[in-house]
Structure formats: structure tokens, C-alpha cells
Amino acid sequence: MHLGIDASNIRQGGGVTHLSQLLQAGDPTAQGIERVTIWVGAGTAAKLPNTPWLHKRSAPWMEAPLPQRLLGQQLSLPGELRAQGCDLLFSPGGTLPAWSPVPTVTMSQNMLPFEPLEAARFGRFSAMRLKMRLLRQSQSRSFRAADGLIFLTEYAQQAITQALGPLPADTALIPHGIEPRFLQAPRPARPLSACTAQDPFRFLYVSILMPYKHQIQVACAVSQLRAQGWPVEIRFIGASWGHYGPRFRAVLEELDPGRSFLHWSGAEPFEALHASYRASDAFVFASSCENLPNILIEAMAAGLPIASADRGPMPEALGNAGVYFDPESLESITNALQQLAQDKGLRQHLAHLGWQRAQRYSWVRCAQETFAFLAQVAQRQPRTRRVPAPLGREERKD
């Protein structure tokens, strides 16, 4: 079997991590996939492994700006799939060509297009909200047309099925994994009485600065605790985005002009994040929209006690291993952070529970299940399709 992967629009972030880890941890030949051809830009290709079964292909349209890449995906990729003799197309980015000469599998990795109230946080007439509407249209079409569809969480599967109705494709629930370097057994919890203003209790929040991540509310909660005499601080790690980044920095300047307890270090290399987890006493995750909260799972694996938003798939991932809060309520966030900081025994208990739950997330398992599912879909579906019918006529499979 010859598998084609469309990674032409995967450029950064979790998409690159998923793709590289999938290809590094997996052995598709064990599932009868003898050859994998991937359409990928040069920058992403450099981050992928070199193996006998993996063949990387590029073209000028893959290095062009996004509109040209999307056009190439729709017009050029189907012909290239046929020319290379592929038996199946896997598109982890969530969007498929309008027509494919082979069966297709895609996956859901972004919930913002399907949660309009969350997308509205970017502004009623914002470019991001428009982008999410366009993504919803393209991904809805792809999800309905695909022969196989991969979900990362039960939450995402239920929410998207509710939004789109029954999906005709074979579906699978395959969560992402975490790198072994994040796995750190829980450390002895420091009592709050041992913390001082010079050596405070250290909260950590890792995520890009965006409206649905609620960093501003978290900063205000920590500021309230500090004003009450609690020896706490928080470090935010994450790239600044759009108008929210300057707003967040302005709040930090207002609440803590000397940066004695509210710290922001911007984006940090993914390869170094495990050290930041190790240097912290507790973790905060205030996002209200996720598909699979990879950062939350990394913090679980790092053996940290966690205060988490009670929205989306966070309770599914964290279970009973965290203290939950309403990310839109300053009082709720403040109470959760206070509870976590003052109760050493609770922190120790939650850290162990979270660390144990994190053992389920493995890139080896993800890769094995993904390639097995792809092989299953290919075996169930015909391997050739008719040339697209003229406009107004429905496409048919042989």
C-alpha cells in the first residue's frame, strides 16, 4: 500500500509536532504501508525523519503564500496523487481537496471553527473570526466527504457530530502523545509557609496570548492573592498575538510595574519547555476552547498540581486530578489558585493522579493506532475513483 500525506499547509506549532512525532515513532510497514509520500514545504520537511519508506515531495506552490498553497492543494495535489500511484490520502490539517482520485482520511485538530462563541472573542468583525468561518466551511465539507475521520477527544467528536449531524466516514479516537522528556515524577510539595516574597510559590501558565486563553484574568487573580499577602508569583510563557498581546502587557504593567510577581517571557523554544515545568510549583491552564489540550497533558506528565478551566475537553483529559475554575470569573480563578497554593497535601495528591493519567498519552501508541486506522480505511474503500463529473452532477465512487 502507498500512503500519501498532505502536509502542504502545516508550517508551525502542534501540527508540525504531531507530524514529526507520528513519523518518528511509527512503523507503517507493520500495517502493510510499504511507502509513504508526503507533500510538504521545505521548512517542515527539515524537521521530519529520513527513513527508507518516507519520500518527501515539494513543489513551488507549497512555498507560496497561503492562497496559492490552498489553490495548489485543490488543483495540483489530486493529479500528483494519481501520478505517484498513491492508494490513500491522509490530510492531518483537516481540509481535503474537493475531489480526490483515492480514498481520504482527515482529522479534527481545531475546535475554534466549531465554537462560534469562542471565535467571537477575537472581535465581531475581526479577521480571525472570518478565518474561523471559512475554516468551518472547508472542514465541514472535508469531514463529510472523508472516508475516515480521526478525533483527538470524545468532546471534539460529540461537539462536531452535533454541529454537522451524522458523519458518513469511519471514525477513530486517537489522542496525540507527549515526548518522554516531559515525564517527571512528582516532586515533594513545598508548604506555603516555606515560601517568601523572595522565594515565592511559583505558578506557571504556558500558552499563546489569545483571548480564549484568559491570561489577563489569571494575572488579575494572582495580583489579588499578592495584595492579600500571599507569597505567590506566576510566569507566563507564550508568543504575543494580535491585539490581545499588547492588552495583556498593559495589564501586567498596571498591576505589577516592577515585575516582581507577574512575569512574561514571550515564546520559548518547545525543546526547552520541560525545564520550565520542572522549576514550577503548580500549573494553571485557563483556556476555554481546545480540541486536545496538549499543554495541559505536558504539565500532568511533569508531575505538577494543576488548576484548570472547567470548559471543553479539559475535564476529559485531567479527570479528578485538578482543581477547576470558571475562566471568565475572577473570583473562581482566585479561589482555585488559593486552594492549590495553601493545601500541600492536595497538591501532592493531584500531582500523582495527573502524572498517572499522563502515562496514557504516547506517541508510539498514537502512531500505531493512526497507521492501523489508515490501513483499515484503505482496505474498506475502493482504490480508484471516477474523474469528477461536470458541475451539477454528484461525484461517485467506483
- For the segment 226-243, the average pLDDT, to the nearest whole number, is 96
74 and 202 both lie in a single domain: no
Examine the pLDDT at 10 and tell me if it is beyond 60: yes
- For the segment 312-340, the average pLDDT, to the nearest whole number, is 98
Lowest mean pLDDT among 13-22, 108-117, 241-250, 385-394: 385-394
157 and 222 both lie in a single domain: no
- Specify the 3-state DSSP secondary structure of 320: coil
Examine the pLDDT at 383 and tell me if it is beyond 70: no
368 and 287 both lie in a single domain: no
CA dihedral 328, 332, 338, 339 (to 10 degrees): -130
Q: Say if CB 219 and CB 234 are below 8 A apart.
A: yes
Total domains in the fold of the chain = 2
230 and 341 both lie in a single domain: yes
Examine the pLDDT at 327 and tell me if it is beyond 50: yes
Whether residue 386 is contained in a domain is answered as no
Whether residue 395 is contained in a domain is answered as no
What does pLDDT average to over the chain? 92
Q: Quick one: pLDDT at residue 382?
A: 63
**From its phi and psi, is residue 385 left (phi > 0), alpha (psi between -120 and 50) or beta?**
beta
Whether residue 385 is contained in a domain is answered as no
Examine the pLDDT at 252 and tell me if it is beyond 70: yes
161 and 214 both lie in a single domain: no
User: Residue 99 sits in a domain of what CATH number?
Assistant: 3.40.50.2000
268 and 164 both lie in a single domain: no
144 and 125 both lie in a single domain: yes
172 and 47 both lie in a single domain: yes
Whether residue 274 is contained in a domain is answered as yes
122 and 8 both lie in a single domain: yes
- For the segment 259-280, the average pLDDT, to the nearest whole number, is 94
Whether residue 353 is contained in a domain is answered as yes
Whether residue 64 is contained in a domain is answered as yes
Examine the pLDDT at 48 and tell me if it is beyond 70: yes
CA dihedral 107, 109, 110, 115 (to 10 degrees): 70
Q: Quick one: pLDDT at residue 225?
A: 98
Q: How far apart are CA 23 and CA 16, in angstroms?
A: 11
159 and 269 both lie in a single domain: no
192 and 172 both lie in a single domain: no
Examine the pLDDT at 318 and tell me if it is beyond 50: yes
Chain-centre distance for alpha carbon 263: 24
Q: Quick one: pLDDT at residue 15?
A: 86
Banded pLDDT at 397 (limits 50, 70, 90) = very low
- For the segment 366-375, the average pLDDT, to the nearest whole number, is 97
Whether residue 388 is contained in a domain is answered as no
326 and 278 both lie in a single domain: yes
Q: Quick one: pLDDT at residue 387?
A: 40
Query: Whole domain around residue 7: which residue ranges?
Result: 2-177+362-380
- The continuous run of DSSP H or E covering 178 comes out as none
Q: How far apart are CA 280 and CA 193, in angstroms?
A: 16
Alpha helices in 146-293 (DSSP H): 154-164, 215-227, 244-255, 273-278
pLDDT tens track for 54-77: 999 998 999 998 889 889 999 999
Phi and psi angles of residue 218, each rounded to the nearest 5 degrees, phi first? -65, -40
Whether residue 397 is contained in a domain is answered as no
Q: Say if CB 154 and CB 316 are below 8 A apart.
A: yes
Examine the pLDDT at 395 and tell me if it is beyond 80: no
Examine the pLDDT at 398 and tell me if it is beyond 80: no
Q: Quick one: pLDDT at residue 222?
A: 98
